[in-house]
Structure 1
């Protein structure tokens, strides 16, 4: 049997610790039968031979710009059946001007009002049996709380509610998706918005959700 291949692409803004955070999950991928290829340049996305051989793509690249050939290669790989899975700004605060990338991921970071704040991640009751979140109760974090723009074809597994304070310009609570999956062509996309600090990704519930999300995106967990 051929080993599955996971491609980890890490770089961009260093504030999200792309090396340290992805290093947390490399042993997990190897333990689950993946050969892991790590790249620190987006150029790999334009390499059709490499992209045609990967089963899972794990980006950790905040902000930055992506060239058309690189975006085309990433799109083609996911449409062709590769999984795409990531967390926080490393997947949904990347390439802000590339709207086709946002279509692929199903969401774009807008803001984290209040910077570091205590907030809850609430498992969606109707999706509580999904294998990514099964057995996980809603939980609290003190970290960045992402307000994201999304569309209606995501399968939202968890949400977070941004409650306005006395100095905030919005007047009602805003429910924003925090964990979701998405189908794109033959590929699967997984996003977890928590993950600003390395410690967030070491928090047991977040760690479990991300690990399961990696497997789901690779087609190793069902819906």
Structure 2
């Protein structure tokens, strides 16, 4: 069996327990033995991280902070082949530690206007990617993440902020919403969709997130 480690906690408004629990049956069906940690001290265990095939981080800023040493341990494990995956604030608004931000490839800045109807669009060149195959556009009513993003990311899907009354940008702005990245021998999957369980229960979002978890896991 492959192993998955779910690390969850922080701000409760992102429902770290409910959202991660919703993926447990799928992970087990895919042959993962799953360990759940609700304390960042798990990132002190370099041997555990090295032996883990997939880490799912679902910890939005709040409470404990990731220390430089713990960020370094996670980075070291991913470089050696451990996969890393997550969604929304649980992965890109998780920690201020810069090595962690470098690892994930982006940092959350804001979500203008909070919940807004918008469209997630899969880039045509990734229409056949194993994560997004068969998914073209997804209509959403949730937060839109404005990000600072790494050009190393392989962006699979985007969202666009149109010009809006009262907002400072003067032309439409497109931001990455789903991406992957290779980090040493490890793979990373990030989706910015998933504020709470209803977002993750949108069928196309559930599908691409499940696929992303499997894609990121160690081969």
TM-score between the two structures when normalised by the length of structure 2: 0.97
RMSD: 0.9
The answer to whether the 8 Å contact 1:143/1:197 transfers is no
Counterpart check, 1:69 vs 2:69: yes
Query: Equivalences for 1:26-65 in 2 at 5 Å?
Result: 26-64=24-62, 65=65
> Structure 2: how far apart are the matches of 1:114 and 1:156?
24
- Counterpart of 2:161 in structure 1 is 162
> Structure 1: how far apart are the matches of 2:74 and 2:42?
9
Secondary structure of 1:22's partner? helix
- Counterpart of 1:82 in structure 2 is 82
**CA-CA distance at 1:219 after TM superposition:** 4.2
Gapped regions of structure 2 (runs ≥ 5): none
- Counterpart of 1:126 in structure 2 is 125
The answer to whether the 8 Å contact 2:89/2:192 transfers is yes
The answer to whether the 8 Å contact 1:46/1:72 transfers is no
- Counterpart of 1:208 in structure 2 is 207
Runs of 4+ in 1 over 3 A off after TM superposition: none
- Counterpart of 1:91 in structure 2 is 91
**CA-CA distance at 1:165 after TM superposition:** 1.0
> Structure 2: how far apart are the matches of 1:119 and 1:127?
20
17, 20, 27: which is aligned to 1:19?
A: 17
Gapped regions of structure 1 (runs ≥ 5): none
